[in-house]
């Protein structure tokens, strides 16, 4: 399971088995799901070699720890500084906060087996630009 990003689905429709991808209705959930599932599927269908966004390791710069529900991979909006090798969370964790999404150029990945990421900890980030 992941957050944000539910409900979502994949299937096919019609005699030609046209692919059908269903995204959540919440704007941030829809965007994250698109980046993680739809964009790679489209790029794969186009025969492009790099279907996923690039990732990097970055040190978390935050005033407090990031928390995440147990058993759920969390994708939080962030600003990535390649020179410093850091990522800073932007906005809150609500999937309706689209202003924070507009400020973000990365998704901070909190794995499903982690419930807290302390400031100064190195973590994976998905680069959006």
- Tally of CB atoms within 10 A around 25: 9
User: CB under 8 Å to 86, separation ≥6 — which residues?
Assistant: 58, 59, 60, 61, 80
Q: What is the pLDDT of residue 129?
A: 87
What does DSSP say about strands 73-81 and 2-3: parallel, antiparallel, or unpaired? Answer: parallel
Sorted by where each begins, the domain ranges of the chain are 2-45, 55-127
Q: Is the pLDDT of residue 80 over 90?
A: yes
pLDDT at 1 over 80: no
Rounded to an integer, the average pLDDT of 110-120 is: 96
What DSSP character marks residue 34?
I
CA gap 57, 123 in Å, rounded: 5
pLDDT digits (tens, 9 = 90+) for 18-52: 989 999 988 889 999 999 999 999 999 999 999 99
**95 pLDDT tier (thresholds 50, 70, 90):** low
**Residue 14 backbone class (left: φ over 0; alpha: ψ -120 to 50; beta: rest):** left
In percent, the amount of the chain with pLDDT more than 70 equals 96
pTM of the prediction? Answer: 0.88
Identify the CATH homologous superfamily for domain 55-127.
Answer: MoeA, C-terminal, domain IV (2.40.340.10)
Q: What is the pLDDT of residue 93?
A: 65
**Structure-token pair, residue 46:** 């186009």
């Amino acid at each position: 399971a992941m957050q944000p990003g539910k409900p979502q689905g994949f299937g096919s429709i019609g005699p030609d088995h046209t692919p059908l991808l269903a995204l959540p209705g919440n704007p941030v959930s829809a965007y994250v799901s698109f980046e993680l599932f739809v964009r790679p599927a489209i790029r794969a269908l186009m025969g492009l070699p790099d279907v996923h966004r690039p990732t990097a390791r970055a040190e978390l710069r935050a005033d407090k720890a990031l928390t995440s529900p147990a058993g759920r991979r969390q994708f939080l909006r962030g600003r990535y500084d390649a020179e410093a090798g850091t990522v800073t969370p932007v906005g809150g964790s609500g999937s309706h906060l689209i202003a924070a999404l507009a400020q973000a150029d990365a998704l901070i990945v909190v794995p499903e087996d982690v419930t807290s990421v302390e400031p100064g900890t190195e973590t994976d980030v998905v680069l959006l630009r």
